[in-house]
Every structure is written in structure tokens, then in C-alpha cells.
Amino acid sequence: MIGYLAGRSPLHRAHPYTTLALAGAVLLLAFALTQPLEIWLLVAAGAALAMAGGREVLRSSVRAALLLSLPIWALLFVLYGLLGAEPRLALGFVSLSVPGVARALVLGGRITAIVLGFLTALGTTSPHRLVEAMTASGVPFGRTFLLASTLTVLPRMRDRARQILEAQQCRGLRIGGSPLARLRALGPLALPLILGALAEVDEQVLALDARGAGGGARRTALDAPPDSTPQRLLRWTLLVAMIAAYAWKFWRMRG
């Protein structure tokens, strides 16, 4: 949907943990807030975050967020606006549920804010800098490997899935027809993909072992992104703010 967009904005220059902490704070706050006004202030904060990433990030994030959110908004409109509870408000030829619309504004705004926050983080966090930051902070190799390496394997697996599909179609496999016929085609497509990948496991283990990935020694980051006291302070402040937000939410629920 959106990948890293090179730039020189404050978010691009920030330590990757700071950008991810900001996006994480939007996610946690979105679930802590329950009033339409609060949620839409959070959406505005998400948009401000995207703006801090520069014009290109703002444009891409807002566009992708709209594309992802619009189908959800449409479903919310039907499920809550049209099929919601009384009292109702007549708007031309449609009658909308007042509490339903308020609930839809919260639910839709929540998803929009989260998507906007994380798309901004994706657009401004270089995967290379993130891996270097994780290595520098002593994150075990396994975790870094799983997050970074799987993304590089996916295009290869996708290509192989496409090749298997084309090869099986050449051999006469029909992928249309009734749902049962289509379900029967699943085996000839999925089995070769999974079995082929399993057969390569040992080869990949050997390749990684030969590169010293099996050693338990702490790895050295060659190009660790600089961190600073204000950024560390900001991350701790966000953590405290999240705890306070949830404490406030539960206190309000009790009341």
C-alpha cells in the first residue's frame, strides 16, 4: 500500500523507535478514547503527524488511508446509520439513526486514525535504519531476521504461486465453476507451493549458518541511527500518557 518514502523531514531523521512509538501511541489512544470529538481530534493528530513527514508522505498516507477507510465507512454507514437504533433523523429520503451515526463516527474515526498513524510511520521509517536500530539495542538476531527477512521472501513465494497457477492451468486445471470445483483446485495449487518451500528449508539453514547467523554473539550495528535524550524522553512521556489514558478510561467506565 505504502512503503518507505525517502526524505529529510523531522520524522525521517528521528530514531525509528520514536516514529514507531508515535504510531503506537495513536493506536493505543484510538482504543482508549470513546467520544466522537476525542476520536476526531486524534484523526487530526494523525494528519498532523503525516504533515510532519513532508508533502510526499502526507499525500501518500492520506490517499492510502482514504482507500483503506472508505469501504469500512460505507459498511458503518449501512450497519449503524441505516440499520441503527432509535431515535432517527430524516435527511431527505433517508432516515439515519442518531446514536448509530455517533457510534459510526467513533468506530470509523478510530480506524482512520490508526491507519493514518502507521502509514506515516511506514513512509518515514527506513527498514534498513530500523534493523540497524534493533541490532544496536541488542534485539536478538531471530526477531530481526523474522521481520526483515520474511519481507524479502514474500515476492519470491508470490512469483512461485503465480508460476504454479500458470503451470497447472497449462496441464488442464480449471479454476472456475462451482465453489466445490474451485475448492478442489486448491490442493493442486497450494500443495506444490508448500512442499517446495519445505524442501528448501535445509538449504536455507545451511546458507544462514555459513554466514554466522547461528552464533549467539551480540551483533554490531555498522550504521546505528543516532538517538537523543529528548527523543528518549518523548518515548517515555508517550508511555506514561498511554497508561494515564487507560486509567482515565477505566475510571470513567466505573463512574
Partner 1 sequence: MTLRDLVLVRLGVAVNLVIGQIVAALLLPIYLDSVGTILVASLVGPRAAIAAGLVSQILSAVISGNFSWLPFAIVQVVIALYAWGAARLGLFRRLATAVPAGLGLGLVAASCSAPISYFVFGGVTAGGVTMVTTVLRALGAPLGVAVASASYATDLLDKAIACALVSAVLRSLPRTLAARFPALAR
By CB under 8 A, name the binding residues for partner 1. 1-2, 23, 27, 30-31, 64-65, 68, 71-72, 75-76, 78-80, 83, 103-104, 107, 110-111, 114-115, 117-119, 122, 142, 145-147, 149-151, 153-154, 157-158, 161-162, 165, 175, 179, 182-183, 185-187, 189-191, 193-195, 197-199, 201-202, 204-205, 208-209, 213-214
> Cβ contacts of residue 236 below 8 Å, gap of 6+?
none
Eight-class DSSP state of 8: -
Least Å from the CB of residue 248 to partner 1: 18
Least Å from the CB of residue 65 to partner 1: 8
Least Å from the CB of residue 233 to partner 1: 25
CB nearer to partner 1: pick between 59 and 182:
182
Q: Which amino acid is at 1?
A: M
CB nearer to partner 1: pick between 149 and 231:
149
> DSSP of 15-73, one letter per residue?
-HHHHHHHHHHHHHHHHH--SHHHHHHHHHHHHHHHHHT-HHHHHHHHHHHHHHHHHHH
CB nearer to partner 1: pick between 7 and 127:
127
Residue 64 vs residues 60, 99, 110, 202: alpha-carbon distances, Å: 6, 29, 16, 39
* Contact in structure between 24 and 93 (CB atoms under 8 Å): no
Least Å from the CB of residue 222 to partner 1: 22
* Contact in structure between 11 and 50 (CB atoms under 8 Å): no
CB nearer to partner 1: pick between 8 and 211:
211
C-alpha cell at 137: 539495542
CB nearer to partner 1: pick between 205 and 233:
205
Least Å from the CB of residue 144 to partner 1: 11
Taking the C-alpha atoms of residue 149 and residue 249, their distance in angstroms, rounded to an integer, is 39
